[in-house]
Chains A and B, each alone.
Chain A
Amino acid sequence: MPDSPVIQTFELSKQFREVRAVDRVSIAVERGQVFGFLGPNGSGKTTTIGMLMGIITPTAGSFALFGASDAKGHLAARARVGATLETPNFYPYMSGRDNLRVAATIKDVGSDRIDECLEIVGLAGRGRHRFRTYSLGMKQRLALAATMLNDPELVILDEPANGLDPQGMKEVRDIIRILADRGKTIFLSSHLLWEVERMCTHVAIVRKGQVMKVGTVAEIVSEQVRALVRVEDTGALEAALADYPDATGVQTTDEGTVVSLKSDDLAGLNRYLAARGIYVSHLARHQQTLEDAFIELTQGDYGSMTEIAS
């Protein structure tokens, strides 16, 4: 089925006792997309991926992988997928190479491919060492090597840069870029919004198990015209904006006051404020970032803002 989305979910849901971890998620990932799946901790990202990978049984809804929507089809479709969930999952007493041999046997891939993948992720020299002796960065790279073994059409990565130092993050990013350049479809769950914004073509933002917004990165971040305003008396500004008919929202940030507008008539806003005796020291169009959109959509769910900004 060449025209089918690589991943398609239909009202996919998962209930863990009282907790609805995933709530009627419907998304479609087309071939060649680098799809970012974003959400705070506990928003259902890993559970959704777990259902796609057959390790968690959905409570309701369904999904299709490469157009296949039954259990037998899912199993066959998983042969075209390379995926890793949360932390790298390997046998600690076995070498990196033997761990890849297990994965290669499951995927029915020859051992020459193991060497190639170890080479790509820079672990050729450590392949014979036990997994338990690897640093976190090496473990993540081994997980990436495992996902690449079968030269998959779809790569699913759940927080691949978790716990990595900046150099490790760059290495992971480079590997993802290589995969994307080779035309692979990539489904990436991450906290690192600036990473996602730089790498992904499409994004879904999830909150409490529900998809809040889905679309291209451009669609997510630029639907609303915003102005960044700096004045001496913020209180007077906010009072004045409360009556401004073109304003749809006001948000105070460290940078200044961000005003959401119905149109991009910044001159009109300036005239309105001046007429009320409020003279701005700074007035400029404010480009919303993915981080802004994410915070807006998941407001209140995030404990640590540094995690987003890091």
Chain B
Amino acid sequence: MSRPGTLLRIEFIKARKRPALWLTLGVFVFFTVVTVLPSLMRAMQGGGPGPPFALPWIWRGVLQPPINMGPFFLGAAMILLFAPEFGWKTARQNVIDGLAKEHLFFGKLITFALLVAAFFVVPIVTGVAASIISPEPTGTFARGPELNHMFGYAVVLCLWGSVGFLLAATIRASGGALGIMFLYFLVENMVTSIVPAWNPALERYLNFLPTQLFDTLTRIEFYYPDALALANEQRAAMGQRLLEFPEYWAVVSAVLAYVALFMGVSFVTMRKRDL
């Protein structure tokens, strides 16, 4: 058996009976259905204002809060599947049994990829199913903006998954890692709301902090010009500052750079630290 095949089998045996995984995934599926159901009901009762609730417009209705909390669920799932391996000393036993520390890392990388795939597929399948059920006219699967939206969602899944990965590999305890993840989320939001008042020039840099990038990539205004125009119209009417976003690929590249950085630090930590 090839090494990737072995690692996949090992991770499958570990994950399939892990209640934390199925609980996290189950809660996410529930949120997905809860998000989609009201729009679907509305569509079945003749539809409302705005684009039809069917392909390809459906994605702006599906990939919105609370589904956008998916990345946090994924980060939490990653921590719950990885960090206990240190507390239970099973990571140590896996190495004693014959894995290299690098294999442990790559095994968890497989878990990471599968989690990203699962958290990506759930809203996509739900969206397609809702579109089939919806009586509104169905078009193509997705156009440019919708594809960007989906890719943006996949990228933020990777971002928070890699945050969970990093915290699990460095903190090595589920409670501590989850606590730090949520604490970081709060602290970064505090910093980004306080610092611009002190020095406005820093705001454009703060927009590239992980949580701000997450915020950008989960806003429908970032992907759909009509939604941005509508939002800015309302903001102008209320005297609020208009929404402005960095370039799509600048945001995506920044997120992917974070993912590479977090995974790189995790790899070095796994390799260097004693078990």
A interface vs B, CB < 8 Å?
A: 50, 53-57, 75, 78-79, 83-87, 89-94, 98, 101-103, 105-108, 146
Is the pair A89, B88 in contact by a Cβ cutoff of 8 Å? yes
Chain A contact residues: helix, strand, loop or mixed = loop
Is the pair A54, B97 in contact by a Cβ cutoff of 8 Å? no
Is the pair A54, B13 in contact by a Cβ cutoff of 8 Å? no
- Centre residue among B9, B90, B94, B96 by max chain A CB count within 10 A: B96
Is the pair A87, B89 in contact by a Cβ cutoff of 8 Å? yes
Is the pair A55, B10 in contact by a Cβ cutoff of 8 Å? no
Interface 1/0 per residue, B74-95 and A, CB below 8 Å: 0000000000000011101111
Q: Contacts A105-B9, A105-B10, A106-B6 given: A50-B274 contact, CB under 8 Å?
A: yes
Surface stretch bound by A, among B63-71, B98-106, B253-261: B98-106
Measured CA separation A154–B217 after assembly (Å): 54
Residues of B within 8 A of A89 (CB): 88-90, 92-93
Give the size of the chain B interface in residues (CB under 8 angstroms). Answer: 25
Is the pair A102, B94 in contact by a Cβ cutoff of 8 Å? yes
Is the pair B96, A98 in contact by a Cβ cutoff of 8 Å? no
B interface vs A, CB < 8 Å?
A: 1, 6, 9-10, 13-14, 17-19, 88-90, 92-101, 272, 274-275
Q: Contacts A54-B100, A79-B98, A93-B19 given: A102-B13 contact, CB under 8 Å?
A: yes
A-B contact pairs, 12 of them (CB 8 A): A53-B95, A54-B96, A55-B92, A78-B97, A87-B89, A89-B88, A98-B17, A101-B13, A102-B90, A106-B10, A107-B98, A146-B93
Measured CA separation A84–B274 after assembly (Å): 16
Is the pair A93, B100 in contact by a Cβ cutoff of 8 Å? no
Residues of A within 8 A of B89 (CB): 85-87, 89
Is the pair B95, A54 in contact by a Cβ cutoff of 8 Å? yes
Is the pair B96, A107 in contact by a Cβ cutoff of 8 Å? no
The one of B1, B17, B95 in contact with A108, judged by C-beta atoms closer than 8 angstroms, is B1
Residues of B within 8 A of A79 (CB): 98
Going nearest first, the 10 A-B pairs with the smallest beta carbon separation are A89-B93, A89-B89, A55-B275, A106-B97, A56-B274, A53-B96, A106-B98, A103-B97, A55-B92, A83-B96
